[in-house]
Amino acid sequence: MLSYRTQRSCTMLVFVMVLASIMLAQTKSETRIIKTLYGRTPDGAAVDLYSFSDGKIEAGVITYGGIVVSLRTPDRNGKLADIVLGCNSLEEYIAQTAHFGGIIGRYANRIAHGTFQLDGHIYSIPKNNGDNALHGGPRGFDKVVWTAQPLPDGVELTYVSKDGDQGFPGTLTTTVRYTLRNGALRIEYSATTDKDTVINLTNHSYFNLAGEGNGEILGHVVKIKSSRITPLNASLIPTGEIKSVVGTPFDFRKPHAVGERIDADDPQLRFGLGYDINYVLDHPRKLEEAAEVYEPTTGRILRVLTDQPGIQFYTGNHLDGTITGKNGHVYKKRFALCLETQHYPDSPNHPNFPSTELKPGEKFHSVTVYEFSAGTR
């Protein structure tokens, strides 16, 4: 017969084991991942939706374009709402050209005249933005189906872009990880090549912290940790200058409402029809806060952290009411803002900009984090 002390020890051991199993189950349930069929492309390729939550925020990502189709975050009262613009179906995502929520590559932003020179060779990218190539050409990374693999806290996507794809040199293998943890969406980009090439990857989510389709974002209060921009010409191509924001409507080093100066008499605002400019981030190339957005009516706060040298601030100036988005919402001008972490636009044609070249044996790696909270300012 067991002694009282032994019986008590066994009882305590059982209790601890049960408690540990409950805690483990709770931990495992913190990130729930559900895979469902989202649709099929015209050529029959299956597109899956990965839905996952960390208990604080919820995200949905499809394998077509790596598009973030939903991102639900709480307001100051704990009420969840979807804060990214998007479409109702795969067919609509394929048809739209606003790049809603997609992985942008091989080269985010614009390349002047669709050409650049590398290793003595001239490469031509199909023009899809006037005389320029935009976001990797007409069939960029947000217009292809990625291979997916679930992660403990999200999903990993992989795409192999063959040598000559959209005119770019080298076979580029790209991996993008979307994960949720502690109320933050982390995007981790990696890529390798078998031939000298150029690369610039970002995510093109359109944010409205009041809720997608819930009016203009002119009341959103923005702060950007940058004292310089790369000014543009009338074709939205960098002039090659790096210019101070001091005394201009582009100075967001202290918080300002988006609508406070968006219609000021400034050539850069006229060219972009609002804010559509690359900011040269002040921080060194390590993961640090680059920008913050506060929406007063809901209290939602978005902090953007990145290790990239630039961030494109865009205020949805080309949304013109012709796109009916989620829940029947019509997306009009300035109904969202984008904060696209990146290298500078047209860098291959500007030797004074940070290099975007990637060589065999090297690995491109970058991290961007979108942190969400809510409160009163």
Over residues 21-75, the pLDDT tens digits come to: 333 333 344 568 999 999 999 999 999 999 999 999 999 999 999 999 999 999 9
Residues annotated as catalytic (active site), given as ranges: 204, 340
pLDDT at 377 over 50: yes
Q: In terms of Cα–Cα distance, which of 237, 296, 234 is closest to 267?
A: 234
pLDDT at 178 over 70: yes
> pLDDT tens digits for 162-172?
999 999 999 99
β-bridge pairing 364-374 and 202-203: unpaired
Q: Which pLDDT value is given to residue 1? A: 41
Q: Measure CA 191 to chain center.
A: 17
> pLDDT tens digits for 107-151?
999 999 999 999 999 999 999 999 999 999 999 999 999 999 999
Cα torsion angle, 161, 162, 168, 174, sign: positive
Let me know if 188 is exposed, middle or buried by CB neighbors in 10 A (0-12, 13-18, 19+).
middle
**Residue 84 and residue 207 in contact, taking contact as beta carbons nearer than 8 Å:** yes
Q: Which pLDDT value is given to residue 259? A: 98
Show the tokens assigned to 224. 């950007």
In 169-178, which positions are buried (b, 16+ CB within 10 angstroms) versus exposed (e)? bbbbebbbbb
Task: Summarize the chain as % helix, strand, coil (round to 5).
Answer: 15, 40, 45
Q: What is the mean pLDDT of residues 256-262?
A: 98
From CA 220, how far away is CA 255, in angstroms rounded?
10
Percentage of the chain with pLDDT > 90?
90
From CA 156, how far away is CA 63, in angstroms rounded?
10
Gyration radius of the chain over CA positions: 23
Q: Which pLDDT value is given to residue 217? A: 98
Q: Which pLDDT value is given to residue 283? A: 85
> pLDDT tens digits for 279-289?
999 987 889 99
Q: Measure CA 332 to chain center.
A: 21
Q: Which pLDDT value is given to residue 32? A: 83
Q: Measure CA 17 to chain center.
A: 42
User: Considering the entire predicted model, what is its pTM?
Assistant: 0.91
How many CB atoms within 10 Å of residue 86? Answer: 28
Q: Average per-residue pLDDT in the chain?
A: 92
Q: Which pLDDT value is given to residue 30? A: 57
Q: Which pLDDT value is given to residue 245? A: 98
Give, in order, the Cα–Cα distances in Å from 14 to each of 8, 17, 22, 173. 10, 5, 12, 50
pLDDT at 3 over 50: no
Q: Measure CA 150 to chain center.
A: 19
Helix (H) or strand (E) holding 23: helix 4-29
> pLDDT tens digits for 287-331?
999 999 999 999 999 999 999 999 999 999 999 999 999 999 999
Percentage of the chain with pLDDT > 70?
92
From CA 85, how far away is CA 52, in angstroms rounded?
18
Q: Which pLDDT value is given to residue 284? A: 76
pLDDT at 7 over 90: no
Q: In terms of Cα–Cα distance, which of 61, 73, 56, 66 is closest to 36?
A: 61
pLDDT at 17 over 80: no
pLDDT at 79 over 90: yes
Q: Which pLDDT value is given to residue 23? A: 35
Taking the domain 35-374, which CATH number applies?
Answer: 2.70.98.10
Show the tokens assigned to 279. 């900011």
From CA 106, how far away is CA 172, in angstroms rounded?
9
From CA 212, how far away is CA 206, in angstroms rounded?
9
One-letter amino acid for residue 141 of the chain: F
From CA 71, how far away is CA 69, in angstroms rounded?
7
- Among the ranges given (6-20, 182-196, 261-275), the one the predictor scored with the smallest mean pLDDT: 6-20
Q: In terms of Cα–Cα distance, which of 151, 156, 159, 106 is closest to 133?
A: 106
Backbone angles phi, psi at 122, to 5 degrees: -100, 125
Q: In terms of Cα–Cα distance, which of 195, 156, 169 is closest to 107?
A: 169
From CA 141, how far away is CA 191, in angstroms rounded?
13
Per-domain residue ranges of the chain: 35-374
